[in-house]
Chain A
Amino acid sequence: MVTELLGKKIGMTQVFAENGDVVPVTVLEVGPCPVLQIKTDKTDGYNAVQVGFGAGKKKNLKKPMAGHLKKSKIEHPQRVIREVRFADGETGSKELEKFKLGDQLKVDIFDGIYKVSVTGVTKGRGFAGMIKRWNKSRGKETHGSNNVREIGSTGSDTRLTHIRPGKHMPGHYGVESVKVLNLEVIRIDKDKNIMLVRGAVAGPNGGYVVVHKTNLVRPAPPKAETKKKSVHGQRK
């Protein structure tokens, strides 16, 4: 089973649910992802398909990559290439038999899926201070204080003459892979390869993401009009 697919974050907007509620959604372009290589237990020791996403400029295609893509009859370089793992052993190998090189994996693999997890790369914030990076509070600006955005004390004891490992410090922040778990799939547009998920996804608009299936099941809608029994005994 294909458990994940590559995509791109388009941006956020809102749609209305059936009952009129406003639902904040992230618009994702998911797929089509061409199959570039099929890895099997026999040849590689594990089962997976290698998929690509996002056609780049043809002139940027390097020869080794061109040779690799040629097997799938793809002429454009792929912006992202990633492996999608399949189950180990025979079960996975059997599923892989359905795929051949150059097959396009599309959003419809998420049909009927209730929730997905989305991995994105967060926006880069450069060298960030304590306040932005670790949510520290600020020092006083007045009363002669110079401790406005300083890091404060880094240690306590004279016996402990080094800074403890893992101490929060200023430094590079952002550009890290963040997986947002269990976002509800609101809508899937197969023609346009568009998926709407409830809530926010890490990264800038246009950033590349990986959409993972989850095995959560949509809860059954609450039964309409079952008369509430009072918890405490009612007097007649």
Chain B
Amino acid sequence: MNIIEEIQKSSLKKKVPTFKVGDTVDVHVKIKEGGRERIQIFNGIVIARQGSQAVETFTVRRIVQGEGVERIFPLHSPNIVNVISRRKGRPRRAKLYYLRQRTGKSIKVKERLGEIPGADTIDQTAKKTPAPEKETPKTKNE
């Protein structure tokens, strides 16, 4: 198993963006058009984080013209340039799949603003010096 872990380590990012399930985020995705590269921003709510190490992915859901759109991003993909947390959420569960059944305002209500005592790691200072090893289990336990 160790060899596999080592191989995964080679594709880990040094700086892992910090965000949690329930956050409204901007995902900066590198996109190649012809020969040029540009960065596209995908905005939405993180409804799940899955996997660990290099295999970790997160699912972002947003509503586009009344239609729900979900994208699954590999967290450590070199194409994911940055993930910026715009609005912190306070979910009561780890996977927010119930948002798929909701429309309109009810999607918003589930997310709450404000700090959670003792659980706030998503502030600006933490963003600059992320501690990925510590960060991941916390999100899972939530």
Q: Which A residues are within 8 Å of any B CB, using their own CB? A: 10-11, 13-16, 19-20, 22, 25, 27, 29, 192, 194, 196, 224-225
Looking at the assembled complex, report how far the CB atom of B11 sits from the nearest CB atom of chain A, in whole angstroms. 5
CB neighbours of B35 from chain A (8 A): 224-225
Q: Is the CB of B78 within 8 A of A13?
A: no
**Nearest CB of chain A from residue B43's CB, rounded to whole Å:** 20
Interface size on B, residues (CB 8 A): 18
Find out whether the CB atom of B78 lies under 8 angstroms from the CB atom of A27. Answer: no
Docked complex: B77-123 residues within 8 A CB-CB of A: 77-79
A24 to chain B, nearest CB (A): 10
Pick the contact of A13: B32, B34, B55 (CB < 8 A).
B55
Contacting A at CB under 8 A, from B1-59, are: 1, 3-4, 7-8, 10-11, 30, 32, 34-35, 54-55
**In contact, B7 and A16 (Cβ under 8 angstroms):** no
Enumerate chain A residues within 8 angstroms of B79, measured Cβ to Cβ. Answer: 19-20
Report B-chain residues with C-beta under 8 Å of the C-beta of A15: 7, 10-11, 54
Besides A15-B7, A27-B3, 9 more A-B contacts (Cβ < 8 Å) are A13-B54, A14-B54, A15-B54, A16-B74, A16-B77, A20-B78, A25-B7, A196-B7, A224-B34
In the complex, which residue of chain B has the Cβ closest to the Cβ of A193? B3
**B61 lies within 8 A of chain A by Cβ:** no
B62 part of interface (Cβ distance < 8 Å): no
Point out the residues of chain B lying under 8 angstroms from A225, CB to CB.
Answer: 34-35
Give every chain B residue within 8 A of A16 (Cβ-Cβ): 11, 54, 74, 76-78
How many Å from the CB of B78 to the closest CB on chain A? 5
Identify the closest chain A residue to B77 (Cβ). A20
Closest 4 CB pairs of A and B: A20-B79, A20-B78, A225-B35, A13-B4
Chain B neighbourhood of A19, CB < 8 A: 32, 79
DSSP class of B's interface residues: helix, strand, loop or mixed?
mixed
Check B7–A20 contact: CB distance below 8 A.
no
Nearest to A12 among chain B residues (CB) is B4
Rounded to whole angstroms, the CA-CA distance of A78 and B4 in the bound complex is 24
Q: Which residue of A lies closest to B51 (CB)?
A: A14
- Are A22 and B3 in contact, CB atoms less than 8 angstroms apart? no
Asked whether A10 lies within 8 Å of B55 as measured between CB atoms, the reply is: no
What are 16 pairs between A and B in contact, CB < 8 Å?
Answer: A11-B4, A13-B4, A13-B7, A13-B55, A14-B54, A15-B7, A15-B10, A16-B74, A19-B32, A20-B30, A25-B7, A27-B4, A29-B3, A194-B3, A224-B35, A225-B34
How many angstroms between the C-alpha atoms of A68 and B35 in the bound complex?
Answer: 59
Docked CA distance A216–B95 (Å): 45
B80 CB to nearest A CB, Å: 8
Task: Determine the distance from Cα of A140 to Cα of B76 in the docked complex, in whole angstroms.
Answer: 47
For B76, the closest partner residue in chain A by CB is: A16
**Given A14-B54, A224-B35, A225-B35; A22-B7 close (CB under 8 Å):** no
Query: Bound state CA distance, A16 and B74, in angstroms?
Result: 10
